[in-house]
Amino acid sequence: MMQTTLCYLEKDGQYLMLHRVSKKNDVNHDKWIGVGGKFEPGETPEECLLREVKEETGLTLLQYSFRGILTFICDQQEPEYIFLFTSSSFTGGMRECEEGVLEWVDKNKIKDLELWEGDKEMFRLLDERKSFFSLKLRYEGDRLLECSEWGNYGT
């Protein structure tokens, strides 16, 4: 399975969202997601996270929280384990992203964006839980077929 990171940067009640409009043949085309990407050989999730956030935003994370693992299964691509992080501590100047448009979006308006259907559940868990969670999302095209949550990890 492919392994990737996904990070939602937070400030002033907003998440930094990436509107994926630049890449052709992108399973995320036209969707709003966080920043992140594929592991390079030998990288840890943390190394991938720091590199991808810097490459896509120009920002350097100072602190971050490992929030969960998403198992993303879609008939349009290889299955994927997504290591999910959040951060409200970063430095640097934001730059344009080659993969789309970066925009700070009020958390209460996130669900109005063009999202993967399962991301609405992920945002609910990010808002409600302080503990680690696991979410399995299985799609056929854009249609969510399965959404299974785990999260009783002794905390």
Asked, for residue 88, whether it belongs to a domain, the answer is yes
34, pLDDT greater than 60 = yes
b/e for 43-61, b at 16 or more Cβ within 10 A?
bebeebbbbbbbebbebeb
Return the half-sphere exposure (C-beta side, CA atoms, 13 A cut-off) of residue 107.
Answer: 15
Where does the chain have alpha helices with state H?
Answer: 45-57, 117-128
The CATH number of the domain holding residue 21 is: 3.90.79.10
Q: How many helices (DSSP H) and strands (DSSP E) are in the chain? A: 2, 8
31: closest CA among 150, 130, 113, 132? 113
Tally the domains of the chain. Answer: 1
- Report pLDDT for 153: 62
33: closest CA among 101, 125, 92, 124? 101
What pLDDT, in 10s, does the model give residues 40-97?
A: 999 999 999 999 999 999 999 999 999 999 999 999 889 999 999 999 999 999 999 9
Asked, for residue 82, whether it belongs to a domain, the answer is yes
Asked, for residue 129, whether it belongs to a domain, the answer is yes
Which residues constitute the domain of residue 32? 2-150
> Which range has the worst mean pLDDT, 14-23, 104-113, 139-148?
14-23
0.75 cut: is pTM over it?
A: yes
- Report pLDDT for 22: 74
Per-residue pLDDT, averaged over 139-147, amounts to 94
- Report pLDDT for 30: 87
Q: Judging by beta carbons within 10 Å of its beta carbon (0-12, 13-18, 19+), is residue 85 exposed, middle or buried?
A: buried
Asked, for residue 155, whether it belongs to a domain, the answer is no
